[in-house]
Structure 1
Amino acid sequence: MGQTPKDLQPTRSVLHFLGAEIRRLRLGAGMSQADLGKALFVHKDLIRRVEAAERTPSDDLVEQCDATLGANGRLHRLLPMLQRERVLRPARDVGGAASGFRSEATDRPVLDWLLSTAPVRRSDAADQHAAADQLRVLREADHRHGAGLTYPGLARTLAESLEALTRCAPQVAVGYLELAGYEAVDLGNDGMAQQRYLRALEIATGAGDRLYGGYLIAVSLGHLALHCGDPEQAARLARASLRGIGTAATPAIRAACRTVLARAHARRGERVACAAALLLAERDLARSRRSEEPSWIAYFGEADLGDERAHCFFDLGLHAPAQREAAQAVAALEPHRIRRKAIDSALSTASLARSRQVDHACAMARQAIDHATAISSFRSAHRIVLMLAELQPYSDQPEVRDVVEYAHTRLPVLVNPAMTSPPS
């Protein structure tokens, strides 16, 4: 008697989604695990372990499965996500790989920032204004087009100008590195993102810029820890930042830091603590006046807070408020923030699917796909894949099959494997 197939959670990770897809395609082709193994010249136990998400398959095995099962590129297009998964899994299991995100790498820089008594350094006004204007242009281009198009130019600017900016306009240098870290996340290169953020923190610490340093710790590095599946580290970073900036923080900075803490609580299922952190963030933001905030935090408003609330509610399984907050966030976002619209629309779809509102989920999924197609972003593509995983339990329904087919016809635009290796 054959073994009972392991229950999969397609939404848990890309690896689970891949396993579920291979199993679905294999059964649809009327093949056993032994049949597929024989066709691919591998042992059936390897097929079993891949389908059970117990083994990360090689790129070659994924390509062979795609061809043998007639997937028409659907499995092939998951390869960039799997490459990121290979880096993250060793980091979680054995303390980190050199090229990936490592939680412990932040410990010493955060301590240096907490203990720093460096005086605030003044910037050359002319140099700062010119560089700051260029940075604003780059930020808007990133929101509108995605890092797949904008990162190469940003990397060249850093290579040519970072040293000079660090001397004459350190806050602007920090801004360039912060954007470079954010774009590295958008390219699926989490290790590069961490390096960029830590270099920015080093400059902020040396320049005596206490507030920007605290923001980098809680918001940039904290969100990166969440993105890499480490809510404990995100909570530690947010707490360290809030403690280090103290009463000097502006309302928007405190609100942004508290939302990271709320997200970490939500990931750990801590409803009361999450609600308390969100309430404090809401009170802080209500007191914020954009004209009194640093330019680098002025973006953080009701739409961004709504996005954070939506993710918290989703992680806590509170789907009605998650859907409401995500919809309000999308409606309030400025038109050029395409990536955020894609991510929040995908979150709405996932929440609707978990609520068994399949028709509504399919309608929202098309909006998410359209937004993601308009931007060159690995991160958006990753969210679309996870969104499709939420719809997989309903794959026998015609409207779901139509949405999945719609997504797959556009995935070549969404996923460019070259995006996962940005220049250093």
Structure 2
Amino acid sequence: MGQTPKELEPARSVLHFFGAEVRRLRLGLGMFQADLGKALFVHKDLVRKIETAERMPSDELVDQCDRVLSAGNGLRRLLPMLQRERTLRLTRDTTSATVGFRSAATDRPVLDWLLSSTQDARRWRAGEEGRAAADRLRQLRGADHVHGAGQTYADVTEIFGHRLDVLATGAPRVATGYLELAGYEAVDLGADGLAQQHYLRALEIVTRCGDRLYGGYLIAVSLAHLALHCGDPDQAARLAAAALRGIEHQSTPAVRAAFRAVLARAHARRADQAACAAALLQVEVDLARSRPAEEPAWIGYFGEADLADEKAHCFFDLGLHELAQREASRAVTLLEPHRVRRLAIDTALHAASLARSRQIEHACAIARQAIDHAATVASFRSAHRIVLMLAELQPYADRADVRDLTEYARTRLPSLISSEGPGRLP
């Protein structure tokens, strides 16, 4: 008598989605696990473990599954996400300093920042140089929004080889701007450990130069968002809270709002609805008090569109899907058209929330818009969000509209950017 197949949660992770897809494709071909194992030259127990997300498949096995199951690159397309998930698992299982993102690596630099003096802050502001480099940085930020990191990361990091040390001395704010953008783009390439290196190097510069406020931004927004992205909401909450304490005598309303928005995200990820609601309420109060002329230029991006984005993610994580859909839709409406990657991510989040609400027809319609946005940018993050969106719809794979959507994704996104692209920090 056969065993009842284990219930899968395709949206739990890319590994779960991969297992669910292998099972779906196998059953669609009328194959038993033993049949697939024979075709793959592996034991049927390995097939079972792959399908139930108990075993991480090798790159070769993913390729073989795609071929044997006639997936049309649908499984191969998951390789970059699976490689990242494998790295995150390895990071959790080792103390090696060379593997991916490590939460503990931020502790000492953050403590150094907290204990640092701000006496040199005026020298930081008065010693601005490198206007040409600053202009180029603005151009690269704009290109990143439109095209994704796959198109711009090499240009951003080119400066590391011969100009970063000079800028760090003569124009430290420009140097940290390049490093912050490089970190953001490394995340967009799926290279979380590399992103952490960029951010920590930027934090080292601002700590040395005494810019307490921007250091807090690197901790509460850059590093804390990275911790969330890597599945560590506890570390994200600690980082955001430390930054808020460290800038309490120098902060401005918009800066506090941006920091507290990340804190709200961490609370939501930890399923603490009350703490999340309290943090979001304070974010709104802070934004209402903000006066753009009195805010640092680097926080100017954080407004109603970004707040709606943060709220949508909070509500999605808390399972408040009507609110998540409202805020995701609002974010898409408020976002400027050139922020294509953010449009892809928020539209995909909207579709995923609709799928969880069992509004499948509407979800498929919104999902097509998300795929269209993602198809125009070389962005691992937007591709990853598309995969998670498709995972939400996987339980309804027998519906014609979901099958059509899956085929549409396969056509519009034939390949995804590799997580091996960025290389090493110079």
After TM superposition, the score normalised by the length of structure 2 is: 0.97
- State the one-letter code of the partner of 1:302: E
1:132 equivalent in alignment to 2:156:
no
Alpha-carbon distance in 2 for matches of 1:376, 1:40:
32
Residues 233-261 of structure 1: CA deviation (Å, up to 9, x unaligned): 00000000000111311111110100111
- State the one-letter code of the partner of 1:17: F
- State the one-letter code of the partner of 2:294: E
Alignment of 1:137-156 (within 5 A): 137-156=139-158
Residue 85 of structure 2 is matched in structure 1 by: 85
CA contact (8 A) 1:252 1:293 kept: yes
Residue 64 of structure 1 is matched in structure 2 by: 64
Alpha-carbon distance in 2 for matches of 1:418, 1:179:
17
- Relative distance call for 1:20 and 1:420 in structure 2 (3 A) is farther
- Give unpaired runs (5+ residues) of structure 2: none
Q: What is the aligned-residue RMSD (CA, Å)?
A: 1.4
Alignment of 1:235-384 (within 5 A): 235-384=237-386
Residues 179-217 of structure 1: CA deviation (Å, up to 9, x unaligned): 000000000000000000000000010010000000000
Residue 202 of structure 1 is matched in structure 2 by: 204
Alpha-carbon distance in 2 for matches of 1:383, 1:41:
33
SS at match of 1:74: coil
Residue 4 of structure 1 is matched in structure 2 by: 4
Q: 1:418, CA displacement in angstroms?
A: 6.5
SS at match of 1:127: coil
Alpha-carbon distance in 2 for matches of 1:79, 1:393:
21
CA contact (8 A) 1:147 1:376 kept: yes
1:103 equivalent in alignment to 2:103:
yes
Residues 105-147 of structure 1: CA deviation (Å, up to 9, x unaligned): 0000000000001522335666243322221111111001100
SS at match of 1:412: coil
SS at match of 1:56: coil
CA contact (8 A) 2:81 2:384 kept: yes
Alpha-carbon distance in 1 for matches of 2:420, 2:405:
25
Alignment of 1:401-416 (within 5 A): 401-413=403-415, 415-416=416-417
Q: 1:90, CA displacement in angstroms?
A: 1.7
Q: 1:411, CA displacement in angstroms?
A: 1.7
Alpha-carbon distance in 2 for matches of 1:78, 1:97:
27
- State the one-letter code of the partner of 1:217: I
- State the one-letter code of the partner of 2:192: D
- Give unpaired runs (5+ residues) of structure 1: none
In structure 2, which of residues 386, 389, 399 is the aligned counterpart of residue 387 of structure 1? 389
After TM superposition, the score normalised by the length of structure 1 is: 0.97
When structure 1 is superposed on structure 2, of 219-228 and 131-140 the one drifting more is 131-140
Q: 1:363, CA displacement in angstroms?
A: 0.7
Q: 1:292, CA displacement in angstroms?
A: 1.8
Equivalent pairs counted in the alignment come to 423
SS at match of 1:11: helix
Residue 36 of structure 2 is matched in structure 1 by: 36
Percent sequence identity is 69
- State the one-letter code of the partner of 1:271: Q
Residue 17 of structure 1 is matched in structure 2 by: 17
Residues 30-86 of structure 1: CA deviation (Å, up to 9, x unaligned): 111111111111111111111110100101111111111111111111111111011
SS at match of 1:313: helix
Q: 1:423, CA displacement in angstroms?
A: 5.0
CA contact (8 A) 2:128 2:171 kept: no
CA contact (8 A) 2:341 2:377 kept: yes
